Every structure is written in C-alpha cells, then in structure tokens.
Amino acid sequence: MSRKAAVIALTALAPVSWGSTYAVTTEFLPPDRPLFTGLMRALPAGLALLALTRTLPRGAWWGKAAALGALNIGAFFPLLFLAAYRLPGGVAAVVGSVGPLFVVGLAALLLGERPGTRSLLAAVAAAAGVSMVVLTAGAAFDPVGVAAGLASAASMAAGTVLTKRWGRPEGVGPLALTGWQLTAGGLLIAPVAFLVEGAPPALDGRAAAGYAYLALANTAVAYWLWFRGIERLTATSVTLLGPLSPLTAAVIGWAALGQALGPMQLAGMAIAFGATLAGQWTPRRTFGNTERKSEKVSMDLSGAAVRR
C-alpha cells in the first residue's frame, strides 16, 4: 500500500466511525438533549487529550485554536445533533452530504485549490448517491432541522479549510491540536447547554456507555485521524471521504436495526462509494506538495509565534 493510500485509509476511519453517531444517539442517549450530547462528546475527549499530550497553545494559536474549536466542534456538534433529533436519519444525512460542495468553494477561495471537474462531479454524485440510500417516501423536511443540518455542514467545511490553511505549530502533533479544538468547542457548548436545556439528565448505564463511546472512539480518536488527514491530503480529498458516514449508518441500520436495503439503496451506495474513490484520484505530485506546503505553513506559523 502506498503512503497516500495508507493516509486515506486511516482518515476514512473517521467518517466510518461517525456513521454510528445516529444509531447511538437514537438508541442509547436521552431524547431531545442535543446541546448536552454535544458537550459530553467534546469536552471529556478534549480534556483527556490535553492530559495525555500536556501541550497548550502559544501566542496566536490561542485564538486560532478557539476559532477552529468553534467551527469544527462548538457550533458543529449542537447543530448536528439538533438536525439528528428533528429530522429522520435519512434526511439529516442528505442535508449533511452537501458539505463537500461547501469545502470545494472555500478551498478555492482560501487555499487556491482550483475545483477540478472531477472533484465537482464527485461531490454532486456523492450527494445524489447518499440521497438514494437514505431518503424514503414521505420523509419529513422540518425547516429547523434542515437549517441546522446545512449550518452544521457549512461550519465543518469552514473548519476543515481553515485547519488546512493554518496547519499546526512546529513541535505540536495532531493529537494536541485535536485536544485544543475539542476542549475549546466543549467549553463553548457548556454554558449554552445549561442555559437552554437546564440541568444534565439522569444517566443510566446504557446512556453512560453511549456517551463514553462517543467521547473516546467517535470523537477523540476519530478527530485525531481526521485532522491528521487534513494535514496530509487536500481539503477537497478529505471532505469527499465524508459520504462514508451515511453509508456506514445505512449498513448499521440494516445489520443492527433491521432496516431494509433495496435495489435503489444498493445502487446509491455504489454511486456514493464510487464518488468517494474518484475524489481521491489526484496527481501524484499533489500529495507530496501538500505535505511540503503543510510543513512550510507549520514552520512559518511557529516562527511567527516565537517572534511574538
């Protein structure tokens, strides 16, 4: 396996893990607590990574970590769970699948990544394939849920592109950067969660296990792999791995929840998976240039931080 293929495979584990979020939310967690759920997913994971890495931001990275934490975590999680609670899983997945289109546009503006025809077609085909997999007749389009889903996709897209643009300081690994963002995002969610939803609900063993899974495997590990992938691949390539999340959710629904997969769903899965693969086909020099560019950005940022 080539180095790029290995990076893609590891990064893909993040959206595969996120594909279990909807099932865990609906089957294990207390109902109608999107803010508390986002808080429990982010803050414990962030604090655990901070304790593990023992590294704090310096200089300008306090502000950058807070901004990335707000986009990737603090705004994204509550909006994502609000959409999951208010929309059927299929509708929520389709709304979220427009994320790659947001990234393509932002990457062109902020990173100079010119959107090739293949990338645009892959993003559109992925959204179409996801729609075929998860949409059902008579699916309800709650306006608040749809707005939350679109806003969550836009927030994550902006966070992905800025994560790529800013890189990370020299000597700071992806694990520490992940901890900064999760902690910042969790601290942003905490006061809003208590003001809007009140005191935390009573948790039984099932709910505690669900939150533990979301915080550790689904968040701490998955986001570390995701940010690591953003550093090594193009922003568009990374975000086109996103359709693996609703595809995984559909497989879990079929295998664990008894949901049917008919010919249209199987065709949609093939289209979305094919679009995901097509989104990874970039000229060989792109991977090397991306790595060198990320290293240069990290060195420049680190030098700027030291000068301050």
Task: Summarize pLDDT for 5-38 with one digit per residue, the tens.
Answer: 899 999 999 999 988 887 888 889 988 888 898 8
Closest CA to 239 of 72, 123, 91: 123
Q: Is 118 exposed, middle or buried (0-12, 13-18, 19+ CB in 10 A)?
A: middle
pLDDT band at 136 (very low <50, low <70, confident <90, very high): low
CB 138 within 8 A of CB 90: no
Tokens representing residue 14 in the block: 């993040």
* Residue 30 Cα distances to 20, 34, 189, 201, angstroms: 16, 9, 18, 7
Q: Which of 132-141, 165-174, 230-239 has the lowest mean pLDDT?
A: 132-141
Structure tokens at 232: 């090594």
Taking a C-beta distance cutoff of 8 angstroms, is the pair 88, 244 a contact?
Answer: no
For residue 257, pLDDT beyond 90? no
Neighbours of 124 (CB within 10 A): 15
Taking the C-alpha atoms of residue 20 and residue 258, their distance in angstroms, rounded to an integer, is: 15
- 24: tokens are 């865990």
pLDDT at residue number 161: 93
The residue written with tokens 């905490």 in the block is 190
Q: What percent of the chain has pLDDT over 70?
A: 84
Domain coordinates of the chain in residue numbers?
A: 3-307
Q: Could you tell me where the DSSP H helices lie in the chain?
A: 3-18, 21-28, 34-53, 61-69, 76-86, 89-96, 99-110, 117-134, 143-166, 174-197, 205-215, 222-232, 235-239, 244-256, 263-278, 284-307
The mean-pLDDT minimum among 14-18, 135-139, 238-242, 274-278 falls in: 135-139
Q: Give the chain's length.
A: 308
Q: Which residue in the block uniquely carries the two structure tokens 């790659």?
A: 100
Per-residue H/E/C for 97-132: CCHHHHHHHHHHHHCCCCCCHHHHHHHHHHHHHHHH
| Higher pLDDT, residue 108 or 69 | 69
CA 192 from chain centre, in angstroms, equals 21
pLDDT of residue 278: 83
**Would the pTM of this model clear 0.85, i.e. be above it?**
no
